[in-house]
A = this chain, B = another copy of it.
């Protein structure tokens, strides 16, 4: 690629795009760390996108009807930071750019949601951004259908690299977007032919255009350094009736000695090479200097959306006050006022009926009550609708045929579902939940971690949460998955024991605004354990005394979910022998840990033998068994020590010794 030709062909454009390149080179050099090549290679595409197409207002980064721009290739964070600085986002000062990747700066190595105002989502783990984008586009379609194009009417643009497209999750995203015909979704693929290990061809020969087309996408291509060709392609993509992918042929680290090499992917810090690149660009400014005319042009770009935003605000203001309040509420992520009363009604009915049912069925009962009063929910399942009990009456199915539907058939795509849920939640205006088997949290892990890191309040409805799944065997029986979810920071893992606890769990999950929730629900039927009504949400306490010792308390049995029933039976047996026994239901460790010391000590006082019962592995339980007033030689665990087996559930519980009798024997051995 002859830089001089590019300069000559479009001199104004060249300098504007090169401002991104220069800032990137300077910031990476200052940090002595980062990824230079991608922002340099995609600078032309980003310039055309921001200047000619992206609907945004740098002075109002979170305006709800803005186009969403997602940098799926998050390592190219300097592309986003440069664009923000140039167009005048208030939070992106030059000082921040100079402190790229330093402690306390918002300019993290990869764009972090909540750190920089223009980061729609946290990216970096490859394939996530493009998969989030499917959720963003779904949210827009759903809101446009339900609120009208006057209020929601925008596009979702993604810049993705080869890494994003090689990750399996991208296929799930592509398949889902293709089926849903998300025509407002436009992926700009940075087709530079380079990965960290060398040429893409070292590890892949995929014809990406053909691959996208196979799933119903419209495919375009352009010379990623020719602004007119880029503009033509984006214009065509916007007009397409399906999701669109534009293959942007680019040169990574263009104009640098490392151009078109894997070295160009990383941190280009050699001073002489850096200067040579700038000289070749015709860039005369010093480090972090942008010529005034270039900066001022970019600020015009940053302000060009102001009128669109003002018009949108007038349209919103024309809605009824109730509608306006509702719009503000759903975008704030607040639960409706009615939610609390709805949950309470379910709880009251439950203590009247005392139903014996699986908590997955309990969850369906709760959702059946909640979904009609909380119409911003969008539910779904990764092809286990009937098993996860996630679909309630009158939701309709969200599809290319019905944009008002609120239930998503995600297909056999746990990872893509979780990533799309993040996107739905990040877009705002909707509240996402989705189901699969608890064991398949494994498949969704990378996206679930990002839910936690970003603090996105999605709800994972994970059913078949133990060996209680039965005959499908160890491949489908979680034993370590409660521990895995609990080990993840900022995640509520709630394993309710009956309908009342399930209702309380949903209330927690639907009212938190900064934490994802994993609901671990049983396949098998469970008896009601909460038999008297209280308005208080006891699950929100994390753990509580479910049944008190009738004589001097010698034993505390701690259990979650399906094993609370076993704990209660064990208590009956111990009490019958005159051994005073308390049962503590512990549906959510994280919420219990958030309580004050006095409450925790009240629930788990010192002095008694402690037995924890859970049909998972012990990993993590010692905190409650030995800690919090417990003693190592006065505590034991009833649960799994390894993987499960294929047999009917009752048999498995008996064979693996997760029984009331086993709990009693262990308790008595320690008395």
16 additional A-B residue pairs with CB within 8 Å, beyond A101-B471, A125-B440, A167-B413: A108-B474, A124-B472, A166-B175, A175-B204, A179-B204, A195-B412, A197-B381, A197-B384, A197-B386, A203-B383, A203-B411, A207-B214, A207-B215, A440-B446, A452-B643, A622-B627
B210 & A206 in contact (Cβ 8 Å cutoff) = no
A167 & B166 in contact (Cβ 8 Å cutoff) = no
Q: Pick the contact of A453: B162, B202, B474 (CB < 8 A).
A: B474
- Knowing A473-B108, A488-B480, say if A206 contacts B124 (CB, 8 Å): no
Q: Is A552 engaged at the interface, CB distance under 8 Å to the other chain?
A: no
Q: Is A475 engaged at the interface, CB distance under 8 Å to the other chain?
A: yes
Q: Is A646 engaged at the interface, CB distance under 8 Å to the other chain?
A: yes
Identify the closest chain B residue to A606 (Cβ). B632
In the complex, the count of this chain's copies comes to: 2
Q: Is A563 engaged at the interface, CB distance under 8 Å to the other chain?
A: no
A167 & B172 in contact (Cβ 8 Å cutoff) = yes
Q: Pick the contact of A203: B409, B446, B619 (CB < 8 A).
A: B409
Q: Is A148 engaged at the interface, CB distance under 8 Å to the other chain?
A: no
Scoring A178, A196, A486, A646 by chain B CB atoms within 10 A of each residue's CB, the highest score goes to: A646
Q: Which residues from B are CB-within-8-Å of A168?
A: 127, 167-172, 413, 415-416
B415 & A195 in contact (Cβ 8 Å cutoff) = no
B215 & A206 in contact (Cβ 8 Å cutoff) = yes
Binary contact readout A476-511 vs B (1 if CB under 8 angstroms, 0 otherwise) = 100110011011111000000000000000000000
Which residues of A from 597 to 613 have beta carbons under 8 Å from B? Answer: none
Q: Is A122 engaged at the interface, CB distance under 8 Å to the other chain?
A: yes
B473 & A124 in contact (Cβ 8 Å cutoff) = yes
Size of the A side of the interface (Cβ < 8 Å), in residues, is 113
Q: Which residues from B are CB-within-8-Å of A450?
A: 475
B172 & A166 in contact (Cβ 8 Å cutoff) = yes
7 A-B pairs in the complex with CB atoms less than 8 angstroms apart? A31-B471, A101-B648, A105-B646, A124-B472, A163-B383, A168-B172, A175-B204
Binary contact readout A617-641 vs B (1 if CB under 8 angstroms, 0 otherwise) = 1011011001111111000000001
Q: Is A205 engaged at the interface, CB distance under 8 Å to the other chain?
A: yes
B216 & A205 in contact (Cβ 8 Å cutoff) = yes
Scoring A102, A176, A203, A211 by chain B CB atoms within 10 A of each residue's CB, the highest score goes to: A203
Q: Is A274 engaged at the interface, CB distance under 8 Å to the other chain?
A: no
B383 & A197 in contact (Cβ 8 Å cutoff) = yes
A179 & B197 in contact (Cβ 8 Å cutoff) = no
B166 & A108 in contact (Cβ 8 Å cutoff) = no
Which residues of A from 355 to 389 have beta carbons under 8 Å from B? Answer: 381, 383-387
A473 & B109 in contact (Cβ 8 Å cutoff) = yes
Which residues of A from 166 to 222 have beta carbons under 8 Å from B? Answer: 166-172, 175-176, 178-179, 195-198, 201-208, 210-211, 213-216
Complex: how many Å from CA A201 to CA B198? 38
Complex: how many Å from CA A173 to CA B494? 35
Q: How many Å from the CB of A319 to the closest CB on chain B?
A: 34
Q: Is A136 engaged at the interface, CB distance under 8 Å to the other chain?
A: no
B442 & A449 in contact (Cβ 8 Å cutoff) = yes
Q: How many Å from the CB of A58 to the closest CB on chain B?
A: 23
B617 & A474 in contact (Cβ 8 Å cutoff) = no
Q: Pick the contact of A163: B109, B176, B201, B412 (CB < 8 A).
A: B412
Q: How many Å from the CB of A536 to the closest CB on chain B?
A: 29
A124 & B449 in contact (Cβ 8 Å cutoff) = no
Which residues of A from 84 to 139 have beta carbons under 8 Å from B? Answer: 101-105, 108-110, 112, 122-127
Q: Is A470 engaged at the interface, CB distance under 8 Å to the other chain?
A: yes
Q: Which residues from B are CB-within-8-Å of A285?
A: none
Complex: how many Å from CA A404 to CA B576? 71
